[in-house]
A and B are shown apart, each in its own frame.
Chain A
Amino acid sequence: MKQKSTTKTSYHIPIGPIHPALKEPVHFEFEIDGEKIVDVDVKLGHVHRGVEWASRRRNPVQILYLAERICGICSYCHPAAFTLAVEKIADIQVPERAEYLRVIQGELERICSHILWAGVAAHEIGFDTVLYLTWQIRERALDLTEFLTGNRITKGIMMIGGIRRDITPDMIPRIKKDLEHFKKDFETLRHVFLDDKTVKMRSQGAGVLTKDEAMKLCAVGPTGRASGVKKDVRFSESYFAYGDLDIDLITPDVLTGEVNGDVYDRIIQRLLEVKQAIEIIEQAIDKMPSGDILAESKIPKLLAQLKKASGEDIGRHEAPRGEVIHYVKLDGNESPYTWKVRAPTYNNILPWIPMLKGEQIADIPIVAASTDPCMSCTNRVTIVQGSKRYNLNREELHRLCVQKTRRLSK
């Protein structure tokens, strides 16, 4: 980054690579003038594990489980997108019941992810009671996930040509009971987040991303939609059973009548999507037809079929954080020739720059967290000011963020 030749000297703060907002470590370098952020630079790649390269020695069914381990929170989305691409290439018709079951799993993951994010965002601005409330809700969602898939995090539910576990009629009362709980919890969360004066003060007008910027920087998911970019793969493309269901494209103006693209709008956006996810699961349960759940239940036969297939295609799924897209090229061998994974955060990196410019240091955690739920640990921040060098650790940065909330609420 270039040092500006003004009389006032700005200074640089490196943040990361262990960083507040991502599942992967990321390195930020802020150019600071007083308390104000003048410029931001992002460096990536600290956990590039070569997952795509690892796929060159695996067959498509093995890749499903590799894909699941790309991210702990999106452990359903990656195998889903990979499966969609492979099914298109090999021309596998998935049974309709499996398409509906896939929708239910996808939406349940969205509830888990958004609730997790809401708790962490509250923690960042110092509302730890809300963090415990959301963790309680998420626990119920994880229990339901375990009930449906047998696992809480890496679900192992996806299979090429269908899904691995059915939902039998005796399971439906339990799901409906939990959904009723989620509805009540949603109302509580809505009240806590949207009617609270302090949350409004911290989030309204902070980290603004305009619609134009969001479009030009290719923002996806809730980050893009909160700025008014109407892009949602569930709405605009027919995949799984989403084409059959009644789905609205939600932007924050549904609730407030206007789109500002600030942190507050991103909170609204995610909360509304939790409600939407509950409604989609209900619809899917009601409309679900009976029938098989796998196009081909014998795995060796499926693998032989995939070995014959050749061609290229993409699979797209709306993950909790936005569109996930996988490109797969099969060439008649056991392993795919190319597998390219694009997670939503990849596209939401550049939008950080306009969001963070002009904000204060104490706003970094909440603004960075507002694009992505994995708010973890800014373990180490070094402030370099002239020849003096002192460290600001993650707790210190969090303390600054909480202090600002307290200051504002006085």
Chain B
Amino acid sequence: MTEKKRLNPEELAKYFKDEFKTSIKDLKIKEKVAGLQKNKANSIWIKVDSNIFKQVVKHLIDLQYPHLAVTSGNDLGKVIELIYHFTLYYEDRIGEIAINISVELPKSKPEIDSICDLIPGALVTEREKMEFLGVKFKGIPDERRLFVPEDIPKDVYPWRRDETGPNKFYKNLHEVKK
């Protein structure tokens, strides 16, 4: 792998904006200082269209093979939001940039391309999102459940907040009649 020039957060933001133009819905750069020397920690938050998501990951890999920490998920009512937390340039002293790429998927058809062919380590987190939020990953090599036991019905997703959520499975103890 050839060493490429390190981009700073602003350059990275420009790089993605130039490449994907209107497919990028939102882009924020956040900074946080810490310690006596007030060194900065940078992070970038990008919201992209779900159909170009895989292209964005390919562009990230072109810069440097990123580390995928995890994927977080939110049920936002009509849409399901997935946030992929990547880090770049982790070999540099205080040079790491956290890149958080979010995609919104309609609840009626929550589908996105699997990135396991690009980053095999994404398998665990994709399987988790599959069972917890009911997202379908196209091309995922392993479709089994990971954490949720087999005796939970197939159409119940523990992180959803609507009728497909786990509500019917729990009781409030104070409401139980003696």
Contact = CB atoms under 8 A, between A and B. Distances in A.
A316 B37 CA distance: 19
Contact of B69 (A218, A239, A243): A218
B83 A239 contact: no
A314 B98 contact: yes
Contacts of A231: 67, 87, 90-91
A211 to B, nearest CB: 11
A235 B94 CA distance: 6
Contacts of B40: 238
Contact of B146 (A44, A94, A218): A44
A363 interface: no
Interface string A310-341: 00111010000001010101000000011010
B148 interface: yes
Contact of B34 (A50, A215, A239, A249): A239
Contact of A244 (B35, B95, B123): B35
Interface in A39-63: 43-45, 48, 50, 52-53
Interface residues of B, number: 48
A350 B74 contact: no
Contacts of A94: 34
Nearest to B33: A238
A20 B56 CA distance: 39
Main secondary structure of the interface of B (DSSP, over half): mixed
Nearest to A218: B121
Contacts of A337: 74
A314 B39 contact: no
Contacts of B30: 88, 313
B29 interface: no
Interface residues of A, number: 50
Interface in B27-48: 30, 32-37, 39-41, 43, 45
B92 A314 contact: no
A238 B39 contact: yes
A45 B158 contact: no
Contacts of B120: 216-217, 350
Nearest to B92: A236
B20 to A, nearest CB: 22
A99 interface: yes
Contacts of B98: 237, 314, 316
Given A44-B146, A237-B96, A218 B91 contact: no
Contact of B147 (A48, A287, A316): A48
Interface string A355-392: 00000000000000000000000000000000000000
B65 interface: yes
Interface string A212-225: 00011111100000
Interface in B82-126: 83, 85, 87, 89-96, 98, 100, 119-125
A243 B39 contact: yes
A43 B87 CA distance: 27
A140 interface: no
A342 interface: yes
Contacts of B87: 231, 236
B35 A240 contact: yes
Contacts of A150: none
A347 B145 CA distance: 17
B162 to A, nearest CB: 15
A45 B149 contact: yes
Contact of B36 (A216, A241, A312): A241
Given A218-B119, A238-B34, A323-B69, A45 B100 contact: no
B72 A338 contact: yes
A273 interface: no
A54 B92 CA distance: 37
B70 interface: yes
A34 interface: no
16 contacts: A53-B166, A99-B35, A236-B87, A236-B89, A236-B93, A238-B34, A238-B40, A313-B30, A314-B43, A314-B100, A327-B83, A337-B74, A338-B73, A346-B70, A347-B121, A349-B124
Given A215-B65, A218-B67, A243-B37, 10 more contacts: A45-B146, A45-B148, A53-B166, A236-B87, A238-B33, A312-B45, A314-B100, A325-B85, A338-B72, A338-B73
